[in-house]
Chains A and B, each alone.
Chain A
Amino acid sequence: MVTPLFRPPAAPLGSSPGTVAAPAVAFHRCGYSYGRSAGAVEALRDVTLTVGAGEFVAVIGPSGCGKSTLLRLAADVLAPSSGTVEVLGGPPAQARRQRRFSVAFQDPVLLPWRTVLQNVELPLEIAGRSPGHRREMAQQMINLVGLTGFERALPGQLSGGMRQRASIARALTLQPALLLMDEPFGALDELTRDRLNQELLDVWQRTAAAVLFITHSIEEAVYLSDRVMVLTRRPGTVAATLPIDLPRPRTLYVKRTAAAFEWTARARLALEAASR
């Protein structure tokens, strides 16, 4: 694969006069309510948050605070009730139609009648790519996530971790500039999650993609990201921003350094404050 592309350094929050590329995601004073006036549920209020090009941003917050809602706003599944959302320099719908971002959920959402290879090919198939190109790209992504040898397996024959790998391979096949991930490892056991965290970082390092990563695990957020955003209870809004300056590449060694523990403790305090 020809991927070790240039990855721009993580832009520091707020100002980065030197950055040319548009941010991957920019929420500006964004609000979202489910339903209409009477029984409306206000999920998000006044959220301003940016994910720079190539940046890895994690979002944590109490459950039900609107994290998934935030991701669906960026994915053009929902439209904001107030404020604006821009994805890769334009409206989310445009980025979606240009197939410049992809999504991975907690549930891998594989089609059970398709083999791993066919599932990974799905986005290419929908985009109308030629069968030869589809096969080749899908195979590369399958190799990248470590599923080589399982191309012909059906999802029902795989473990939870392998299914999630397939889901990530599928999200990567169109070589998106942005990955939107909603607790992708939330249903996995801790060891599998650690391994997949490591692999996700490897993949991210080899592609130029920016990542908006929702999680409820503080350790995971700190370990993976350039920045951790902490949301308050519903209606969710940004309570704190933690610029995680741990060195990269992040190895398991980095995870055990004093600095890593320090960031984890600070993130926990911020989350506790935001949950009150």
Chain B
Amino acid sequence: MRPGGVSGSPGAGGLLGLAVLLAAWEAGVALFAVPLYLLPPPSTIWWQVVRDWPLLWRNAQPTLVEAVGGFVLGNGVAVLLAAVFVHAPAVQRAVFPVAIALRTVPLVALTPLLLLWLGTGYAPKIAIAALISFFPTLVNMTRGLAALDGQALELMHTMSASRWQILVKVRWPSSLPYLFSALKIAATSSVLGAVIAEWIGSDRGLGYLVVAATFEFRIARLWATIAVVSALALAGYLLVVAAERLVVPWRGDV
């Protein structure tokens, strides 16, 4: 249906852009003799990733668990809450402003509190990753479930469809493009949320590694860790894009 061109896909164009950026970075660092501790060239970072791989992989695992857990939890709750909003406008009027107000609380400030409440295990990190995924999905999904055109609703009414049938057969599928644009945001932000949560009170995870490498002044390892974090976030994003192509084949890029 959809021609597989370069224009809409993040694949080919994105890779080319990345390659150009890395080449410029490598050349720039060499040309201006930038000291290693300020900005190592990509090749150095790459070799550091290779050298540190067992360490990086060991610490990527908890981060991955937290990010995926937070992604599922945050988006799941957001989708359910949006479905409640659409069917109970009174609940939406009461809860939505509170949700938006909560959103303005900086997550970095929330982290110590969550550590106090939830301990030092996976729970507080998953909670942070969930919170960071939650809000964009709640906003988008509420819009998506409500964005049904009047004629489709009239049609379902004349067929005597129940509210449940309308939700499952019409509202849910027609909101999928909205859901996926939120999930693309959540895929990257849940990784970042997990990493930030690991900065405090953690002895493992990529976030912990960032802090440890900084304290020990292992600049190359710091950059190697950052590279792995970016790769994870990018992988999450690409997975969501691929899932969208599978699940929403009737619409192109939103």
Task: Please report A residues at the B interface, Cβ cutoff 8 Å.
Answer: 72, 75-77, 96-97, 99, 101-103, 105, 107, 109, 111-113, 122-123, 125-127, 154, 156-157
Contacts and interface: CB of A to CB of B under 8 A. Distances in A.
A75 B248 CA distance: 32
Interface string B1-43: 1000000000000000000000000000000000000000000
B160 A113 contact: no
A112 B160 contact: no
A113 B165 contact: no
Contacts of B156: 126
Contacts of B174: 111, 113
Nearest to A154: B250
B155 A109 contact: yes
A2 B29 CA distance: 81
A156 B1 contact: yes
Contacts of A76: 157-158
Contacts of A125: 169
Interface in B159-185: 159-161, 165, 169-170, 173-174, 176
Nearest to B161: A126
Contact of A126 (B1, B151, B160, B250): B160
Contacts of A112: 250-251
Interface of B: 1, 151-152, 154-161, 165, 169-170, 173-174, 176, 248-251
Q: Name the residue in B157, B159, B161 with the highest tally of chain A Cβ atoms < 10 Å from its Cβ.
A: B159
B249 to A, nearest CB: 8
A156 B250 contact: yes
Contact of A75 (B158, B161, B169, B249): B158
A157 B1 contact: yes
B157 A126 contact: no
Given A113-B248, A126-B156, A126-B169, 8 more contacts: A77-B158, A101-B158, A103-B155, A105-B151, A111-B169, A126-B159, A127-B159, A156-B250
Contacts of A72: 154
Contacts of A103: 154-155, 158
Nearest to A96: B160
B159 A111 contact: no
A107 B165 CA distance: 22
Given A126-B165, A154-B1, A99 B160 contact: yes
B159 A99 contact: yes
B195 to A, nearest CB: 36
Given A111-B173, A126-B169, A102 B158 contact: yes
Given A109-B152, A113-B173, A96 B1 contact: no
A43 to B, nearest CB: 16
A238 B230 CA distance: 70
A122 B1 contact: no
Nearest to B162: A126
21 contacts: A72-B154, A75-B158, A76-B158, A77-B158, A96-B157, A96-B160, A99-B160, A103-B155, A105-B151, A105-B154, A107-B151, A109-B151, A109-B152, A111-B170, A111-B173, A113-B176, A123-B159, A126-B169, A127-B160, A154-B249, A157-B1
B217 to A, nearest CB: 55
A203 B152 CA distance: 24
Contacts of B170: 111
A113 B152 CA distance: 14
A138 B180 CA distance: 32
B158 A122 contact: no
Contact of A122 (B157, B159, B250): B159
Contacts of B159: 99, 102, 122-123, 126-127
A97 B160 CA distance: 6
A103 B248 CA distance: 28
A76 B160 CA distance: 10
B51 to A, nearest CB: 49
A10 B26 CA distance: 85
A127 B170 CA distance: 15
B160 A77 contact: no
- Closest 6 pairs between A and B when the two form their complex, measured CB to CB: A112-B250, A103-B158, A126-B161, A113-B250, A113-B173, A126-B159
Given A112-B250, A154-B1, A105 B155 contact: yes
Nearest to A118: B169
Contacts of A105: 151, 154-155
Nearest to A103: B158
Given A105-B151, A113-B173, A96 B250 contact: no
A272 B58 CA distance: 82
Contacts of A122: 159, 169
Nearest to B252: A156
Given A99-B159, A99-B160, A122-B159, A77 B250 contact: no
